[in-house]
A and B are shown apart, each in its own frame.
Chain A
């Protein structure tokens, strides 16, 4: 168990790598804190920065960016009541009142501490659960992989917010985008329309930046700015001993809730933080304080959020199936560095695999060290007007996309995908399932073709092999959950 983690830290903890991690955390927080920029946009915008580095430092910097951006989302939730993503919406409920009472410092510190604690537990869990799960997954045939991916895709579409049918259609569209380029089995170039830049497929950067960053800026501009400036001055910076005592148990309960729920595909962190908040309200002796700046209301959901994000890495890294949009971005970025997460990766490239796990933990630690002293800076960053920000984000997107292969066609495609993403968002289609479909598409097709070939075209094998059957039943369960409310309404 622990020799793996030791190996990981040996890889990650060189001075150079630590500096990259620090740079990643600083940049991630810097961008993630800016108003109107969600963690997804921040990661999508920044990860092209890591392309020029060798694999290990770049993955470590990526981990730093990930944590920084996530924490940036919590910071805006606490300081301006603007959750960066669904998972930190719960943090607003008590974090923002705390900030308005001048206790933004303690709120941010508790959020960082809770995240760190949950991150430690999550890292240990990966070390314990990862190897057996990975070994189990090595027995998977193409049937199991297909069924598992199907479950992940359907769950991400149905459990994500918004309309489930549109989510499923977005998955199909994502799978179709994944088809573009040279077919690995036959060498036929599909849907490239004689554009040589498309022979290798649509780049991951192009899709991620277009769908998340470009489309999101356009949506933000169109709907106008909605944010409240923080009125109260910050009177305390560090949490008192009393605050810490209050936060202790909620932190642990939140971690437990998050660790369990995080493994679920689709909703992990968001569901976990809601559940943890509800649990705290249930067990509290005076539930009235919740919503008016209770420390527990910040500690528990932040711990749950981060524990879930961490255990979400278990299916992501060991099975290669990401559970959330942010995770999909991370997997896509890892793939760009030639590291395809999955059971084979754990067996064949242990130093990379455990290096990532260790750097995740280091990223979390850096966050704690770096961000607490800099709260004042984050507060002043929040005052930057959006009309200065958005052209700068467009600049980052342009340079980032262009730098991948020094090719203007990628920038044109990114602009087109941004417009498509904007249109789809306007008609109520979330982009996350599309990205998941795009990332998993080539794998899914390959396994499907292999499964049909090996099984001599017998589709029943999907239902007679036990593990595959379990995944299929899971998929069916998710679909029933989707249709159920509609059926009940009819009666």
Chain B
């Protein structure tokens, strides 16, 4: 991601949280500076976040405006992500691959989805029915997905989880619907 875009997105995220904080703070009493109500501190934080967000947005836009004189100066040691300076060559239309294009969000989407699946199934059906889909969904987030390998991994790690969490640490988990060890 280019540097100006990173500033812009970060600024928007912070400003959005700030705006949400201020929007919902109306339900809580503000109080005064001497006797702060429960809304005073979060409201102050909300405005602070909007301030930081606005600053980052402005800085992002400022960096976006091309200025050859400034370009040379912008290189400082603060940013760790490499390859920002040189803009990537635009990919040719024929080389467009949706797998590559969606790659950057796939790991996070798969992992979050696998956690959601686990959270949904766990209280309803128990640990083992929750872990199996969790492993398969999470493993889709990797670059390689081999059915047999994931199956073995699932079996081994599920056995490990039952051994450590249920038998050793005695967490009162349901293993299958209606089946408990502890």
Q: Which residues of A contact B (CB under 8 A)?
A: 49, 52, 161-163, 165-166, 168-169, 172-173, 175-176, 179, 183, 185-186, 188, 190-191, 214-215, 217-218, 221-222, 224, 386-388, 390-392, 394-395, 397-399, 402-403, 406, 408-412, 414-416, 418-420, 422-424, 426-429, 445, 448-449, 452-453, 456-457, 459, 485, 489
Q: Which residues of B contact A (CB under 8 A)?
A: 1, 5-7, 9-10, 13-14, 17, 21, 24, 28-29, 32-42, 45-46, 48-49, 52-53, 55-56, 59, 73, 76, 78-81, 103-104, 106-109, 111-116, 118-120, 122-123, 127, 130-131, 134-135, 138-139, 141-144, 149-150, 153-154, 157, 161, 165, 169-173
What are 24 contact pairs spanning A and B, CB under 8 A? A169-B10, A176-B42, A179-B41, A186-B29, A217-B107, A218-B107, A221-B107, A222-B108, A387-B142, A390-B141, A391-B139, A391-B157, A398-B134, A399-B171, A408-B120, A408-B122, A412-B119, A423-B9, A426-B1, A426-B9, A427-B9, A427-B13, A449-B40, A452-B36
With a cutoff of 8 Å between Cβ atoms, the chain A residues found around residue B21 in the complex are 176, 191
A391–B48 CA distance with the chains assembled, in angstroms = 38
With a cutoff of 8 Å between Cβ atoms, the chain A residues found around residue B141 in the complex are 218, 221, 390
B138 A394 Cβ-Cβ under 8 A:
yes
A169 B53 Cβ-Cβ under 8 A:
yes
A398 B118 Cβ-Cβ under 8 A:
yes
A395 B134 Cβ-Cβ under 8 A:
yes
A416–B106 CA distance with the chains assembled, in angstroms = 15
With a cutoff of 8 Å between Cβ atoms, the chain B residues found around residue A391 in the complex are 114, 134-135, 138-139, 150, 153-154, 157
* B165 CB contact (under 8 Å) in A190, A390, A399: A399
Given A217-B111, A394-B115, A402-B119, decide whether A453 and B35 contact each other with a Cβ distance below 8 A: yes
Closest-by-CB residue of B relative to A177 is: B17
A416 B112 Cβ-Cβ under 8 A:
yes
With a cutoff of 8 Å between Cβ atoms, the chain B residues found around residue A217 in the complex are 107, 111
Main secondary structure of the interface of B (DSSP, over half): helix
With a cutoff of 8 Å between Cβ atoms, the chain A residues found around residue B32 in the complex are 457
A166–B52 CA distance with the chains assembled, in angstroms = 8
With a cutoff of 8 Å between Cβ atoms, the chain B residues found around residue A428 in the complex are 6-7, 10, 79-81
A387 B139 Cβ-Cβ under 8 A:
yes
Main secondary structure of the interface of A (DSSP, over half): helix
Closest-by-CB residue of B relative to A430 is: B80
With a cutoff of 8 Å between Cβ atoms, the chain A residues found around residue B1 in the complex are 426-427
B115 A418 Cβ-Cβ under 8 A:
yes
Given A176-B49, A190-B28, A427-B6, decide whether A452 and B34 contact each other with a Cβ distance below 8 A: yes
Shortest CB–CB separation between residue B172 and chain A, in angstroms? 8
With a cutoff of 8 Å between Cβ atoms, the chain B residues found around residue A420 in the complex are 13
Given A169-B56, A457-B33, decide whether A52 and B107 contact each other with a Cβ distance below 8 A: no
A374–B65 CA distance with the chains assembled, in angstroms = 56
* A183 CB contact (under 8 Å) in B35, B38, B49: B38
B28 A188 Cβ-Cβ under 8 A:
yes
A489–B109 CA distance with the chains assembled, in angstroms = 41
Closest-by-CB residue of B relative to A448 is: B41
A469–B28 CA distance with the chains assembled, in angstroms = 32
A415 B56 Cβ-Cβ under 8 A:
no
Residue in B41, B114, B120 with the greatest tally of chain A CB atoms within 10 Å: B41
B52 A165 Cβ-Cβ under 8 A:
yes
Given A176-B17, A217-B107, decide whether A168 and B52 contact each other with a Cβ distance below 8 A: yes
A398 B115 Cβ-Cβ under 8 A:
yes
With a cutoff of 8 Å between Cβ atoms, the chain B residues found around residue A175 in the complex are 45
